Amino acid sequence: MELEELPNIGATTAEKLRDGGFNSIESIAVANPAEIKEIGGIGEAVAAKIINAARDSMEMRFMTGTEVLEKRKTMKKIPTSSSALDELLGGGIESQAITEFFGEFGSGKTQIGHQLAVNIQIPDEETGIGKSVIYLDTENTFRPERIIQIAEGAGMDPESVLENTIVARAYNSDHQMVIIDRVESVIKEKNVGLIVVDSLTSHFRADYTGRGMLADRQQKLNRHMHDLQKLSDMHNLAVVVTNQVMARPDFFFGDPTTSIGGHIVGHSSTFRLYLRKSKGGKRVARLIDSPSLPDGEAIFSVVKEGIRD
Ligand code: GTP
Ligand code: MG
């Protein structure tokens, strides 16, 4: 359903709303009247009507517990190539969920993204998955050469792995959101089982600087996460996002996630892993606030072949 189909929205208002990041009926339904008023350039009463109409038009999906269980049975787990990390995650990175890797620079977030881009493609007979990957690269750190190395390390054909790695470069936060908004056809066409967003937050930080813009930024990030969550749910795919945060050793046993963007992201990710550098080039992943798994830590390393114990 298009925005224009809602009452009180003409072509001009629809365009303004889209420019402001309201791309879908759902995004309107969860908005508040003040933002719709401001972005759409309309009166508050009209804004409220539009939001109500958006809510009314949304299909309400109720499921029985049995149906939820059936759906969870179709859930896949992508192995990470580190048995310690797999164990921490209860088997691997889950589909129908968002997993966030956050940590300081060089903590291994991008390397894990590359490893998972390869591992989602491990043939179906071994993992029950064997799908392709969309790699949303915001920092220009995607390296096909590294994919080749990791694929070789996994005993896979590097050429075919690269062929099934679909890369999108996002140049700013709006671009990033539009890519996710338009990605559905690619998901179906290429049988995508994993979306990597590396980094989730860097453009949002750059594009919304200053105090006054904090609320806008969080709202946009929230919507972006919501779009990703919906894709993971509808297509039984895994979403993996990265988020750079400053190392704060002094603060470590408090909340290491108080950084910019951390709060909103924290509430919509299903699994959150905090990565930190450790002695001898080792990396430590700590699982935080998982709804279904015990908190704990895993040690892994980044080697030529990719991620290993
Ligand atoms: P930011 O994006 O800067 O926040 O960092 P990140 O968390 O994405 O770090 P990244 O995954 O890029 O990890 C960098 C670390 O992985 C480096 O310090 C290296 O130790 C290791 N690494 C990266 N590339 C290679 C490689 O090709 N071979 C090997 N053996 N190690 C690598
Ligand atoms: Mg990185």
Instruction: Summarize pLDDT for 214-261 with one digit per residue, the tens.
Output: 888 888 888 899 899 989 988 999 999 999 987 655 444 444 444 444
In order of their start, the domains of the chain are: 3-57 (1.10.150.20), 70-308 (3.40.50.300)
Nearest ligand atom owner, CA of 105: 1
Q: What pLDDT was estimated at residue 268?
A: 61
Instruction: Select from 240, 293, 285 the least CA-distant residue to 120.
Output: 240
Q: What pLDDT was estimated at residue 60?
A: 65
Q: Which of ligand 1's atoms lies nearest the C-alpha of 112?
A: 11
Q: ∠ CA 243-83-290 to the nearest 5 degrees?
A: 45
Q: What pLDDT was estimated at residue 253?
A: 46
Which residue positions in the chain have pLDDT lower than 70? Answer: 59-61, 247-269
Nearest ligand atom owner, CA of 247: 1
* 99 sits in which H/E element: strand 97-103
Buried b / exposed e along 236-245 (16+ C-beta atoms within 10 A): bbbbbbbbbb
Q: Which of ligand 1's atoms lies nearest the C-alpha of 113?
A: 11
Question: Contact, 28 vs 50, CB < 8 A?
Answer: yes
Pocket of ligand 1 (CB under 6 A): 103, 105-111, 141, 146, 244, 302-304
Instruction: Summarize pLDDT for 98-129 with one digit per residue, the tens.
Output: 999 999 999 999 999 999 999 999 998 888 89
Q: From CA 271, how far away is CA 180, in angstroms rounded?
A: 20
Q: From CA 5, how far away is CA 10, in angstroms rounded?
A: 9
77 CA distance to ligand 2 middle (Å):
23
Q: What pLDDT was estimated at residue 255?
A: 46
Question: Contact, 300 vs 283, CB < 8 A?
Answer: yes
